Amino acid sequence: MRQKSPGHSGQNTAPSFKCANCGETVKPNWKVCPVCEAPFIAKCPQCGEDTKARWKFCPVCGMGLKKTGTAVPVPPLAVAESASEKTFAIDLGAGIKLELVWIPPGTFMMGFSPFEEDGSKKTQHEVRLTRGFWMGKYPVTQIQWYQVMGENPSEFKGRRLPVEHVSWADCQVLLKKLNTKVEKGHFRLPTEAEWEYACRAGTMTSFYTGDTDDDLDEAGWFDDNSIEQTYEVGLKRPNAWGLYDMHGNVCEWCQDWYGEYSHEPETDPTGPSSGSVRVLRGGAWKYDLSGCRSASRSACDPTARGSFIGMRVVFTDH
């Protein structure tokens, strides 16, 4: 059944969290509630055991937590509050949903800042996006891909793991099929500018959580914490617009051909008109810290596939 495209309203605000024990408003990176002192719980991604934020090792499987990478700071005692009009979902059938989050229009500085390691490349320039868009809350998962395409090409298998081993060309086939499920508007890959704007969500730091390796550990899976594999989407901390896994886990294809940045301000850029390789953003489980930053870029042949390459969708009604 074809579905109607969503509307949107209101201004964007960062998501807030409340302690489920006493109702106090808290920040997602806090370890305990400042009022009732209830500890926020993390899950060990190796065995799923509930652990406490201060623990260094899982008491069941012995896996190292925190800085070694695998405690997931998503506290069950903290419940995100979100405006329902800023999210919607497409029904893919069999109870499988594709959730999307509204990204408002705006202006940002794209590229590495002068204070970052690669700031000397002088890539930073002003970009204005005049129209908002809907973006996948998570990278496309394997169960979503299978529901639409009828097969799962991924190396690391799991329903809620991000799909990988998908080429840019493969993604176009999925998008074409998704577009049969809506009455108006269309699905596509994000432009490179849209991707970075959505990832930053108003921040100017290396990651939407900050600048350090500990900050990246809060937001995504990379070479220091992944144990050479992907992880279920949504386990790490989201950005202010409610997007998960923008740093690490799998690289995400963009619509653009790869090319040099403009040195002048741009409005709604879509990249070069031609090229030989397509843009990948976000970094992946095998990338180091520098490859997972908001401004980091990579590129591959449109037919390339790998266990570190996935995708995220954008939906527009214009």
pLDDT per residue as tens digits for the range 223-269:
999 999 999 999 999 999 999 999 999 999 999 999 999 989 999 99
275-278-283-285 Cα dihedral, nearest 10 degrees: -130
Q: At what angle do helices 142-149 and 168-178 cross, to 10 degrees?
A: 70
- The residue that leads in pLDDT, 157 or 10, is 157
Tally of structural domains, the chain: 1
Is the pLDDT assigned to residue 85 strictly greater than 70? no
Is the pLDDT assigned to residue 201 strictly greater than 80? yes
pLDDT reported for residue 215: 97
pLDDT reported for residue 263: 87
Query: What is the C-alpha separation between 102 and 252, in angstroms, rounded?
Result: 18
Query: 309 in helix, strand or coil?
Result: strand
Residue 162 lies in a domain: yes
Residue 150 lies in a domain: yes
- For 203-214, the pLDDT digits (tens) are 999 999 999 999
- The residue that leads in pLDDT, 191 or 29, is 191
For residue 45, the tally of other CB atoms under 10 A from its CB is 23
Q: Which helix (H) or strand (E) holds 315?
A: strand 314-316
Confidence of residue 16 (pLDDT cuts 50, 70, 90): very low
Residues 6+ apart with CB under 8 A from 145: 152, 153, 154, 163, 166, 174
Is the pLDDT assigned to residue 52 strictly greater than 90? no
For residue 74, the tally of other CB atoms under 10 A from its CB is 18
- Torsion angles phi and psi, residue 233, rounded to 5: -70, 150
Q: What is the mean pLDDT of residues 32-57?
A: 57
Residue 261 lies in a domain: yes
State pTM to two decimals.
0.75
Percent of all residues in the chain with a pLDDT value above 90, rounded to a whole number:
67
Residue 312 Cα distances to 67, 107, 225, 269, 291, angstroms = 27, 22, 22, 19, 18
Residue 72 lies in a domain: no
pLDDT reported for residue 81: 33
Q: What is the mean pLDDT of residues 19-32?
A: 61
Q: Which helix (H) or strand (E) holds 98?
A: strand 96-103
Residue 302 Cα distances to 193, 216, 238, 280, angstroms = 19, 28, 29, 10
pLDDT reported for residue 66: 47
Residue 70 lies in a domain: no
Residue 107 lies in a domain: yes
Write down the residue that tokens 């408003």 correspond to: 25
Q: Which CATH number is 101's domain given? A: 3.90.1580.10
Beta carbons of 248 and 230 less than 8 angstroms apart = no
The mean of the pLDDT values for the chain is: 83
Beta carbons of 197 and 111 less than 8 angstroms apart = no
Confidence of residue 163 (pLDDT cuts 50, 70, 90): very high
Residue 235 lies in a domain: yes
Q: What is the mean pLDDT of residues 13-38?
A: 58
Residue 4 lies in a domain: no
Beta carbons of 244 and 234 less than 8 angstroms apart = yes
Confidence of residue 36 (pLDDT cuts 50, 70, 90): low
**Domain that residue 235 falls in:** 84-316
